[in-house]
Amino acid sequence: MTVPGLAFSATGAPPRGSSQDKVLVKLNFDNGANGNLIPTPVDRDPVEQIAMLGKPPGTIVAGMVIGHWATKQIKFPISVSGPFACTLWADSQKGAKNAYFTIDIYKGTTLLEHYNTSRQTLGSDPVRYDISAMLNVELAAGDTLSTSIYFFSDLVINPGTIIPQPAQATFLYGGGQYSSGISITTIPMIVNVPEPGVQDGVDFITFSAKVKEAFDADPSKMNYTLIITPPSGGTMKHLGKVNPQSTTEGLAFSLVWNYTKDNAKDGFYTITMDASYDGNTTFTNTSKYYVYIPRKAVTGFENTPMQPLIIGSVALAVIFIGFAIYYNRKKIFKNRYAGSKAGSKDKGPKARPKREKDEEADDED
């Protein structure tokens, strides 16, 4: 039976990750020219890259896409509204003048936005391109968000040729400093902290949390921390990082606390669940619950707080019973012995009572 508790969720300021606090979430390009947009960092060595041939500005771009990256199907509805950012890296060993990118943003197959980067001259050292804009779109469960990237630059005349040729360049996108991707303003995680599981007759209390994550990221690449703060005077040993278990409702986390081994106290327990893609932007839920620590029924002497008192009481009871038996036996023996001595004085024939005639004779005399 669950021990009753008073639930007080998310006291104080609204938790990060609420509808009042959208954040800029980076989606990185990964896994080839037709790959994935993922929220977790990409750290490949060597850095993923794609060879590009620049087309002159103003030419028809159909079929010139150098890469297309898409998210997995969105797990629950999210609202994207606010600042949008894009970071792209490129270099050119032979030089590419007037080089720039265009990027298209799609919801499924519907074009949402078309952006252009600045124009730069590329050299052997990687150059960073940035886009800052706004993006507003509602994504339902099952939708995808995707990008298509195009590259342009002036034609070049290579040594020994007279016909202008497309400039050669390299797009860098998957690894460390040169991770390319887009950033959108949204809330991709919902963190829930339910009431702790407390049962009579059980030595454990289970603290748990649930995390729903919109982009279906690899849980092993994310960071999770579950922290329980006991009431004043109480102590706990299970704090810190936890591993997720995938369920149909999202990611489940739990910490099992053997309260019988710690200084467990009734009171308000504060439970904080943190979830993060990269360790920087953290989505948090902090909740408070009043927990009644179960009082264990005494079924033996082991692991019982009353053990010394019980042992002492039993010992006293044994001594008292033994003394009572000894005293009663001694008294019974004494009474029996006294009775046998009194009986020995009455041994032999008893005196015959006088008859009436004898009494008359005595009177005559």
pLDDT tens per residue across span 251-285: 999 999 989 888 899 999 999 999 999 888 899 99
The enclosing domain of 212 has a CATH number of 2.60.40.10
Q: Are 36 and 177 in the same domain?
A: yes
- Asked which of 135, 170, 186 is the last residue of a domain, the reply is 186
Confidence at residue 268, expressed as pLDDT on a 0 to 100 scale: 96
Strand locations in 117-222, DSSP E?
Answer: 120-122, 127-139, 145-152, 168-174, 181-186, 189-192, 204-213
Q: Are 142 and 232 in the same domain?
A: no
Q: Is 15 exposed, middle or buried (0-12, 13-18, 19+ CB in 10 A)?
A: buried
**Each residue's pLDDT tens digit, 55-79:** 887 665 555 689 999 999 999 999 9
For the chain, give me the number of helices (H) and strands (E)?
2, 21
Asked whether 129 and 90 are in contact (CB, 8 A), the reply is: yes
Q: Are 155 and 281 in the same domain?
A: no
**Each residue's pLDDT tens digit, 52-61:** 998 887 665 5
**Each residue's pLDDT tens digit, 191-227:** 999 999 998 888 899 999 999 999 999 999 999 999 9
Show the tokens assigned to 69: 């990256």
Confidence at residue 16, expressed as pLDDT on a 0 to 100 scale: 42
Q: Are 11 and 84 in the same domain?
A: no
Does 58 reside within a domain?
Answer: yes
Q: How confident is the model at residue 329 (pLDDT cuts 50, 70, 90)?
A: low
Does 115 reside within a domain?
Answer: yes
Q: Are 163 and 238 in the same domain?
A: no
Does 202 reside within a domain?
Answer: yes
Of 16-20, 136-140, 156-160, 307-311, the poorest mean pLDDT is in 16-20
Q: How far apart are CA 74 and CA 249, in angstroms?
A: 14
Confidence at residue 6, expressed as pLDDT on a 0 to 100 scale: 37
- Asked which of 291, 321, 340 is the last residue of a domain, the reply is 291
Q: Are 158 and 36 in the same domain?
A: yes
Show the tokens assigned to 357: 């005639």
Does 81 reside within a domain?
Answer: yes
- Asked which of 154, 169, 186 is the last residue of a domain, the reply is 186
Does 363 reside within a domain?
Answer: no
Confidence at residue 69, expressed as pLDDT on a 0 to 100 scale: 98
Q: Are 132 and 201 in the same domain?
A: no
Q: How far apart are CA 273 and CA 253, in angstroms?
A: 9
Number of domains into which the chain is organized: 2
The enclosing domain of 120 has a CATH number of 2.60.120.260
Confidence at residue 298, expressed as pLDDT on a 0 to 100 scale: 44
Domain that holds residue 153: 23-186
Pairing outcome for strands 181-186 and 23-30 = antiparallel
Percent of the chain exceeding pLDDT 90 equals 55
Q: Which residues of 130-147 are buried (b: 16+ CB within 10 A; e: fewer)?
A: ebeeebebebeeebbbbb
**Each residue's pLDDT tens digit, 77-99:** 999 999 999 999 999 988 899 99
Does 88 reside within a domain?
Answer: yes
